[in-house]
Structure 1
Amino acid sequence: MADPIDVSERRELCDLLTELGPDAPTLCEGWTTLDLTAHLVLREHFRRWTDERMAAEKAKGLPALVDRLRGGAPLVPWRLPKIRTLMNGVEYFIHHEDVRRANGQGRRADRPDLEQAAWRLTGYAGKRLARQIRPHGLELRRPVGNPRHFGPAGRAVLSGEPTELLLYLSGRRDAAAVGLEGSTSAVAALRDAHTRF
């Protein structure tokens, strides 16, 4: 039986962080791999944190932070069944892609589990984005299966694999392999919308 998404993405990301070291770029503007690793540790172990707390974690160094990530997330809430895949698994997928793609690695085509989880989360992310582009609607179209529609006709249509759609919806527009079509005004509204979640 395959590992849950949060476990496999965490393990693969930790391996990649170790391989690349602390100063490699990421798709998160202004962040290196050290910054991103500190963020992931803080996200799982602290409710809120300051710049000082971030600096203190980074001062521990990448190997120590990666070791902490490898140890797994706290049981509550991160390992509860629905949260572990839809929240933590997808968080690790997105940040894994932040590191992979900033360092010349392309799309992974061998992970149907990621495509399924990503498609589930595009419902939430698409709904949020559709509210921002009113009065236009939004359609998310995957290669196989029914599309998702939000709002009225005259929609902006975003098409691609679910993981690529999710990357676009999470603010990684330039790295996401998607198609965008629709009326000029709907497409312009989508391009102007804030897409990070």
Structure 2
Amino acid sequence: MWSAREKSALVESLTNAGPDAPTLCEGWQTRHLAAHLMLRGNEPWRLVPRPWAPDSADRLIDDVSEGLREPTAYAAAVAAFAAGPVGANPMRLVGGRADEAMNLLEYLVHHEDVRRAGPDPLPPRELPVELTGDVWRRAGQFSKFAYRSAPVGVVQVVPEGPRRRVRAGAVSVALTGAPLEQTLFAMGRRDAARVRITGAPDAVAEFEAWAAG
């Protein structure tokens, strides 16, 4: 399964980076990302925001990540994420198609959060055609949500491949890039994503101002 493959690659990148490497997630180092992934994979109920404390999940990740500054503790957290839930944990029941639906995009994007951060980002990877097709299909609904408030219409275009309208409008811009680049852009990694914005100059300017805000 693609999610298992990408999880393994993400674990390797986290291990090689160590606890204090930068990521594309604002304010997070790799230890924060490791804390998030460990909690999300093994105890996701702890990340559910409390009505009386909407920032409780962020505070929990900050607290856990503080304990991961030491390389041994960080390595243990990455290993716990890699191993997944144990014992009677109900998360052990998640597998197959459910695992792909829940985790493939999560792992892909967070892997790029590690790979493309810092002063010497790594270049985009050559992904299998079957995987890029899966990413394109799975990211469609999220893209519609991500661009729901865009001031102009939005059309996603894969070079020499499919296209789709994710936001209707009298005037539209085209976002051109590979499926993973489109996903990164939609998920807020806009400076790191290799996506080209084209259209009428006023529409492009309006969209870029919205995307930067």
Pairing of 1:22-171 with structure 2 (within 5 A): 22-44=19-41, 45-49=43-47, 50=56, 51=58, 53-58=60-65, 59-60=67-68, 61-72=73-84, 74-76=91-93, 78-81=94-97, 83-103=98-118, 104-134=121-151, 136-149=152-165, 150-171=167-188
2:174 is paired with a residue of what secondary structure? Answer: strand
Partner AA of 1:97 in structure 2: E
Q: How high is the TM-score relative to the length of structure 1? A: 0.85
- How far the C-alpha of 1:56 sits from its partner, in A, is 4.7
RMSD: 2.2
Structure 2 regions of 5+ residues with no counterpart? 48-55, 86-90
8 Å CA contact retained: 1:140, 1:165:
yes
Partners of 1:192 and 1:55 lie apart in 2 by: 31
What is the TM-score with the length of structure 2 in the denominator?
0.79
User: Following the alignment from structure 1 to structure 2, what is the Cα–Cα distance between the partners of residues 80 and 185?
Assistant: 45
> Max radius of gyration: which structure?
2
The answer on whether the counterparts of 1:22 and 1:62 sit within 8 Å (CA) in structure 2 is yes
1:6-27 Cα offsets, whole Å, 9 max, x none, are: 1111111111111111001101
Structure 2 distance, partners of 1:52, 1:139, is: 37
Per-residue displacement from partner, 1:114-167 (whole Å, max 9, x unpaired)? Answer: 312221133113312342124x21100001333101313421110011111111
Q: After TM superposition, give the deviation of residue 30 of structure 1 in Å.
A: 1.2
* Contact 1:130–1:151 (Cα < 8 Å) also in 2: no
User: What is the rounded CA distance, in whole Å, between the counterparts of 1:93 and 1:41 in structure 2?
Assistant: 16
